[in-house]
Structure 1
Amino acid sequence: MIIEAKLLYLQAIKNLLAPHRYLYCVDLEATCDEVEDSEQLRPLAVPPDQMETIEIGLVVIDLETFEVVDEFQRFVRPQINPILTAFCKKLTSIRQEDVDSARTYVEVGQELGALIARYPNAAWTSWGDYDARQLERDAGFAACPSLLEGLPHFNARKWHAGLHDNPPKSLMQTVESLGLIWQGTYHRGIDDARNVASIVKEVLS
């Protein structure tokens, strides 16, 4: 991609964000299962359409200063499949006791609402579109509005891909390709949200 096209693409991103004061960088972890190579074939304990959020990580960027001004992290107690699979615990490092002692999706949503009220005029972004779909799935299970209902959503992975000819596929690969320092544990909501924020700040500044 030629430099002029990249500059135009970057300006288009900034134009999308111009009406907003804050950007929430969000990452979710959810119940999941996978048949590993060492296992015999078996039904999934958690089918994809039953995945429930078990951790919400959110980092608030002030779009006037490009500084991180707040964070939100909560575990969420799953209702459909309350027992985490071995695969899920290995992937996310989230323990059974973390979710057993957590609040429900609706209760965590009330806590998140209090934070959102402090940072109005916001949009949100995530690495890909999975998180937006998962919030809608959770809202359907809980028969309540999505936690970020009404806020515009942007795909940070597409932003990065639009600015690089051979973009890395994973979040960690992207962080490393930009010369940034990976923060925390991969596949943990708050840590992944922090790393998405690092990429967004690098892209915008």
Structure 2
Amino acid sequence: MSIQAKFFHLQAVQNLIAPYRYLYCVDLEATCDEVDESESPRPLVVVPDQMETIEIGLVVIDLETLEIVDEFQRFVRPQINPTLTEFCKRLTSIAQADVDGALTYQEVGDELRTFAAQYPNAGWASWGDYDARQLDRDAGLAGCPSLLAGLQHFNARKWHVGLYDNRPKGLKQTVESMGLVWQGTYHRGIDDAKNVASIIKEMLG
């Protein structure tokens, strides 16, 4: 990709976010299951259509300064499969006690809307489109609005591919390929959200 093409791509990204003062960088963890190679075949305890968010991590970038100005993290109590699978606990490092004592999706949504009121005129970004689809799935299962209803979503992974002319990679691999320092624990919502923010700041800076 030529320098000129990258310049035009960056300009296109900047035009997309120009109407906004803040950008929320978001990452979700959800209930999940996978059959290990050492296990006998069995049905999945959690099927994809019934995955529920168990953590939301969100950091706020002020687009005028490209500084992180705040963060929001909550565990969420799942309703359909309240007991986390061993696979899920290993993958996310989220413990059963974390979700047992957590608020419901709808209650976390109320808290998030109060938090977001401090940072109006915002869009939100995630690494890929999974998080946007998961929020819609949660809203359908819970019978309430999505946690980020009404806000424009951006796929930061597509921004990165367009600027760096390479194939999509996982979040941790991307952070390391850009020479940035990985923060925290992989597959934890708030830590992944911070790393998404560091990628976006590097791209826009």
TM-score range, shorter chain: over 0.9
Could you tell me how far apart the structure 2 residues matched to 1:59 and 1:140 are? 25
TM score, norm. by length of structure 2: 0.99
Could you tell me how far apart the structure 1 residues matched to 2:40 and 2:48 are? 19
- State the secondary structure of the residue aligned to 1:161: helix
- CA shift, 1:6, in A, is 0.3
Could you tell me how far apart the structure 2 residues matched to 1:158 and 1:187 are? 20
Could you tell me how far apart the structure 2 residues matched to 1:11 and 1:162 are? 11
Is contact 1:167–1:174 with CA below 8 Å preserved after alignment? no
Q: Which residue of 2 aligns with 1:184?
A: 184
- Cα deviation per residue 1:6-65 (whole Å; 9 max; x = unaligned)? 000000000000000000000000000001111111100000000000000000000000
- Aligned-residue sequence identity (percent) comes to 76
Q: Which residue of 2 aligns with 1:78?
A: 78
Is contact 1:57–1:72 with CA below 8 Å preserved after alignment? yes
TM score, norm. by length of structure 1: 0.99
Could you tell me how far apart the structure 2 residues matched to 1:43 and 1:110 are? 35
Could you tell me how far apart the structure 1 residues matched to 2:163 and 2:189 are? 25
- Cα deviation per residue 1:127-181 (whole Å; 9 max; x = unaligned)? 0000000000000111111111110000000000111122451100000011000
Could you tell me how far apart the structure 1 residues matched to 2:73 and 2:184 are? 14
Is contact 1:123–1:153 with CA below 8 Å preserved after alignment? yes
Is contact 2:157–2:168 with CA below 8 Å preserved after alignment? no
Q: Which residue of 1 aligns with 2:3?
A: 3
Q: Which residue of 1 aligns with 2:50?
A: 50
Could you tell me how far apart the structure 1 residues matched to 2:6 and 2:165 are? 10
Could you tell me how far apart the structure 2 residues matched to 1:39 and 1:180 are? 37
Q: Which residue of 2 aligns with 1:97?
A: 97
The answer for unaligned runs of 5 or more in structure 2 is none
Q: Which residue of 2 aligns with 1:29?
A: 29
Alignment of 1:8-23 (within 5 A): 8-23=8-23
- State the secondary structure of the residue aligned to 2:117: helix
- Cα deviation per residue 1:61-98 (whole Å; 9 max; x = unaligned)? 00000000000000000000000000000000000000
- State the secondary structure of the residue aligned to 1:118: coil
Alignment of 1:107-118 (within 5 A): 107-118=107-118
Q: CA RMSD in A?
A: 0.7
**Aligned residue type for 1:76:** V
The aligned length equals: 205
Could you tell me how far apart the structure 1 residues matched to 2:12 and 2:40 are? 49
Q: Which residue of 1 aligns with 2:128?
A: 128
